[in-house]
């Protein structure tokens, strides 16, 4: 493949696009990563403008040929459109050819090939959109209409490839359009404005499916730290490690620590010289507009504060102010991406400089031009052309062993789709994507270019999954030592195998553990005590067995988390215990091994009685809503086999309704009744008979609190404060009311 590391993410994107074309998955959502919830791909570098054509190529060939073809096509289209743009703006044929060469050999793009950043290679949208702008403002009739279509289509294409490319394309179009319109008058001006508005409307219509999803997106994503990706001024003129000539100047560098490709900001001395010459020789309005836009982007790429020799200074930069006015930039953070527009201005300058140099041809000029071209090629050559072979070729036997195993019978209760999570890969980086290409199962972690923060934090909080990964690393890099431990327990504490298997398999839907067959990954997997499916030397596969954990007839939610986990009880959204009391915000969750039957929950509100509670149970979302009166409230409900996971796990969710209003967005936005009208027995009114709940199924008959609570302990719910966002204190429990253990 033409690329390393992130190129395998591009290969995964191609497979996702193929599954979309076959109607197996939505385009902007995948149940195969961050399973069992799944994850939105709106902020992921999916690049459907490239991957969907690549998926069509893969149907006739294979994914590797398809990916390589996309890389070559990106450069071919960029060269073609750059040549046409240079010709339309005054360059000769030779000038256009060398301008296209300067653009395609720009170090900023060749290093992206080596890194596998396919989404950043769609830079053909820049010259294509600008050529459309030239036609829309300078031509008449069909040529103007062609320019409108070309500019609008190129702009929409940039949206479907990468948000940074779309931002840069929009910016250079606006700046250049202002420059072009400033020299027009009368009817020509209004026709040009109409053409540009038409191009903008066309691009908005074509890009609306994605733009509307971005506008409606509610998930939070983690972006890069802009300080770690800021460009240093010295790196603009000193070849980086990605250049072949870096060895000649290696002693002059003092770069910080971002990845090698992100260090490379070299623009090329000869293109910079061509740009300086063109700016001092009265450039056209068009060239001046493009150069101005590139200059602004160069300044923004320096980040929030100026960095020199790898050290931050106290000098603030314009990006710091821009980020305050455009908070959405925080979800990206890759400030060095702004530099991708600069090669466009440099390439156009090269075309104009070559045109001027060859105006009066002579032997000396031809020799000088040949030497300059050779020098440019040498200074632009990458140290690594970026070619990698499949890491698991031939296929890894351990991954194939997972693929052959029978899939889980039903999805776990967290699933939002038809597919259950199946694999926990202990290496959360990009390698888990190409392992997934072999085992073909959803995985509980999953590498995305923008990790969904809610799903990430949920896993880091989990007492089994969290210790497997380093919490301070928001990208999800693995820890260097240690084994799974229970939350709140001393380091190295271990759960019983039955409890670990129950929680992993029934709650998360994990059937297999995998990762690189080396330390520390194999050590962590072995610490669970699960049976080994296969070790291939490349990776390992452990089977998470069905658990024989004892079913509970009574759950004491005041137990400390380590003790609860040993019984297979998973608590979330509860803190404490404090003198037998649990504290809950707007939502709490309890998962435990249970049998079907009649169950009851006891909560109390000893104060104002203006709070409410919603109880949801099972993976089908059965729910009851009821208000809480002062004193004790007992709710009975039925659990059937359909409410349990295959291994007998029951998921219960408690949602508070402070102030009598349903504040959660997926509940009815209406006042909740404040009177006791359900089959709940208040300790202060023991003779109150069974009634019909305000929402949900009828409750079991109960003549009084004593009949519904045979062996339960006391519990209570107290509201703190009157605001809807305040916490509620809970000391509640759930217990069986039928069968053994009553």
Of the candidate ranges 93-97, 285-289, 493-497, 529-533, the one whose mean pLDDT is the lowest: 493-497
Q: State how far the alpha carbon of 588 is from the alpha carbons of 415, 557, 599, in Å.
A: 18, 11, 18
pLDDT band of 604, cuts 50, 70, 90: low
pLDDT digits (tens, 9 = 90+) for 228-286: 888 888 888 888 777 777 666 655 544 443 445 666 788 989 999 999 998 888 888 89
* pLDDT higher at 221 or 705: 221
pLDDT digits (tens, 9 = 90+) for 367-389: 988 999 899 888 888 877 777 77
Q: State how far the alpha carbon of 93 is from the alpha carbons of 99, 352, 396, 473, 646, in Å.
A: 10, 11, 51, 52, 70
* pLDDT higher at 487 or 276: 276
For residue 410, give the nearest of 20, 39, 36 by alpha carbon. 36
pLDDT digits (tens, 9 = 90+) for 331-351: 778 888 999 999 999 999 999
Whole-angstrom distance, CA of residue 259 vs CA of residue 384: 14
Q: Which residue has the tokens 């460009």?
A: 231
pLDDT band of 67, cuts 50, 70, 90: very high
pLDDT band of 1, cuts 50, 70, 90: confident
* pLDDT higher at 15 or 471: 15
Q: Give the per-residue pLDDT at 388.
A: 74
Backbone angles phi, psi at 81, to 5 degrees: -70, -35
Whether the CB-CB separation of 172 and 126 falls below 8 Å is answered with: yes
Tell me: pLDDT of 49 over 50. yes
Order of all β-strands in the sheet with 631-639: 554-556, 733-736, 597-605, 631-639
* pLDDT higher at 467 or 705: 467
For residue 22, give the nearest of 52, 64, 66 by alpha carbon. 52
Tell me: pLDDT of 701 over 60. no
Q: Which residues contact 420 (CB under 8 A, 6 or more apart)?
A: 35, 36, 407, 408, 410, 411, 412, 442, 509
pLDDT digits (tens, 9 = 90+) for 640-666: 888 888 888 888 887 765 433 222 222
Tell me: pLDDT of 730 over 50. no
Q: Give the per-residue pLDDT at 718.
A: 25
Q: Average pLDDT for residues 309-337, to the nearest whole number?
A: 83
What are the start-end ranges of the E strands in 536-620?
539-543, 554-556, 570-578, 581-593, 597-605, 612-617
Q: Average pLDDT for residues 399-426, to the nearest whole number?
A: 64
* pLDDT higher at 452 or 14: 14
Whole-angstrom distance, CA of residue 108 vs CA of residue 262: 9
Whole-angstrom distance, CA of residue 167 vs CA of residue 126: 11
Of the candidate ranges 2-11, 23-32, 580-589, the one whose mean pLDDT is the lowest: 580-589
Backbone angles phi, psi at 533, to 5 degrees: -85, -45
Q: 10 Å Cβ neighbour count for 654?
A: 26
pLDDT digits (tens, 9 = 90+) for 611-626: 667 788 876 667 777 6
| Burial class, 606, CB count within 10 angstroms (exposed 0-12 / middle 13-18 / buried 19+) | middle
Q: State how far the alpha carbon of 21 is from the alpha carbons of 47, 53, 56, in Å.
A: 15, 11, 9
Q: Average pLDDT for residues 421-447, to the nearest whole number?
A: 85
Q: Give the per-residue pLDDT at 197.
A: 94
pLDDT band of 513, cuts 50, 70, 90: very high
């Amino acid at each position: 493949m033409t690329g390393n590391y992130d190129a395998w993410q591009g290969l995964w994107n191609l497979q996702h696009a193929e599954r979309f074309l076959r109607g197996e998955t939505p385009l902007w959502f995948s149940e195969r990563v961050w399973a069992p919830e799944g994850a939105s791909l709106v902020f992921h570098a999916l690049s459907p403008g490239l991957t969907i054509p690549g998926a069509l190529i893969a149907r006739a060939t294979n994914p590797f040929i398809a990916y390589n073809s996309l890389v070559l096509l990106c450069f071919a289209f960029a060269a073609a459109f750059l040549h046409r743009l240079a010709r339309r703006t005054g360059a000769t044929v030779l000038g256009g050819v060398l301008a296209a060469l300067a653009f395609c050999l720009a170090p900023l793009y060749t290093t992206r090939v080596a890194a596998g950043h396919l989404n950043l290679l769609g830079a053909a949208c820049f010259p294509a959109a600008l050529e459309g702008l030239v036609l829309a403002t300078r031509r008449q009739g069909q040529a103007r209409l062609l320019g409108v279509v070309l500019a609008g289509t190129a702009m929409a294409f940039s949206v479907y490839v990468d948000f940074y490319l779309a931002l840069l394309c929009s910016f250079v179009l606006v700046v250049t359009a202002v420059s072009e319109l400033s020299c027009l008058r009368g009817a020509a001006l209004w026709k040009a404005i109409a053409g540009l508005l038409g191009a903008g409307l066309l691009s908005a219509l074509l890009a609306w499916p994605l733009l509307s999803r971005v506008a409606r997106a509610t998930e939070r994503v983690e972006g890069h730290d802009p300080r770690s990706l800021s460009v240093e001024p010295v790196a603009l003129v000193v070849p980086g490690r990605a250049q072949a000539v870096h060895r000649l100047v290696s002693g002059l560098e003092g770069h910080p620590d971002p990845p090698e490709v992100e260090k490379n900001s070299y623009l090329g001395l000869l293109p910079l010289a061509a740009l300086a010459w063109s700016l001092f020789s009265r450039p056209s309005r068009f060239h001046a507009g493009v150069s101005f836009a590139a200059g602004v982007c160069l300044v923004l790429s320096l980040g929030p504060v100026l960095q020199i020799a790898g050290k931050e200074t106290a000098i603030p930069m314009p990006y710091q102010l821009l980020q305050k006015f455009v908070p959405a930039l925080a979800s990206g953070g890759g400030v060095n991406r702004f530099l991708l527009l600069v090669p466009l201005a440099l390439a156009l300058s090269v075309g104009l400089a070559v045109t001027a140099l060859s105006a009066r041809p002579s032997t000396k000029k031809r020799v000088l031009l040949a030497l300059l071209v050779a020098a440019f090629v040498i200074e632009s050559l990458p140290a690594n052309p970026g070619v990698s072979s499949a890491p698991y070729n031939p296929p890894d036997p351990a991954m194939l062993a997972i693929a052959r195993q029978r899939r889980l019978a039903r999805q776990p209760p967290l699933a939002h789709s038809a597919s259950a999570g199946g694999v926990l890969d202990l290496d959360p980086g990009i390698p888990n994507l190409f392992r997934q290409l072999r085992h073909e199962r959803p995985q509980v972690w999953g590498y995305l270019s923008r990790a969904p923060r809610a799903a990430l934090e949920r896993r880091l909080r989990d007492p089994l999954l969290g210790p497997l990964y380093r919490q301070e690393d928001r990208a999800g890099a693995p820890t260097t030592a240690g084994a799974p431990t229970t939350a709140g327990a001393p380091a190295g504490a271990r759960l019983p195998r039955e409890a670990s298997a129950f929680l992993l398999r029934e709650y998360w839907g994990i059937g297999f553990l995998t990762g690189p067959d080396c330390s520390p990954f194999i050590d962590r997997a072995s610490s669970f005590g699960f049976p080994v499916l296969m070790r291939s030397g490349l990776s390992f596969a452990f089977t998470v067995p069905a658990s024989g954990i004892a079913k509970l007839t009574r759950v004491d939610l005041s137990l400390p988390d380590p003790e609860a986990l040993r019984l297979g009880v998973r608590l979330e959204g509860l803190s404490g215990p404090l003198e037998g009391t649990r504290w809950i915000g707007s939502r709490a969750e309890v998962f435990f091994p249970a049998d079907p039957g009649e169950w009851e929950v006891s909560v109390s509100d000893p104060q104002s009685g203006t709070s409410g509670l919603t109880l949801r149970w099972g993976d089908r979302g059965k729910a009851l809503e009821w208000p809480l009166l002062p004193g004790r409230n007992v709710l009975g409900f039925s659990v059937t086999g359909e409410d349990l996971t295959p291994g007998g796990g029951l998921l219960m969710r408690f949602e508070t309704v402070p102030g009598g209003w349903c504040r959660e967005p997926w509940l009815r936005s209406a006042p909740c009744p404040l009177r006791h009208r359900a089959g709940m027995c208040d300790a202060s009114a023991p003779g109150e008979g069974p009634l019909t709940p305000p929402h949900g199924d009828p409750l079991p008959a109960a003549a009084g609190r004593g009949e519904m609570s045979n062996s339960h302990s006391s519990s209570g719910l107290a509201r703190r404060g009157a605001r809807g966002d305040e916490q509620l204190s809970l000391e509640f429990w759930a217990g069986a009311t039928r069968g053994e253990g009553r």
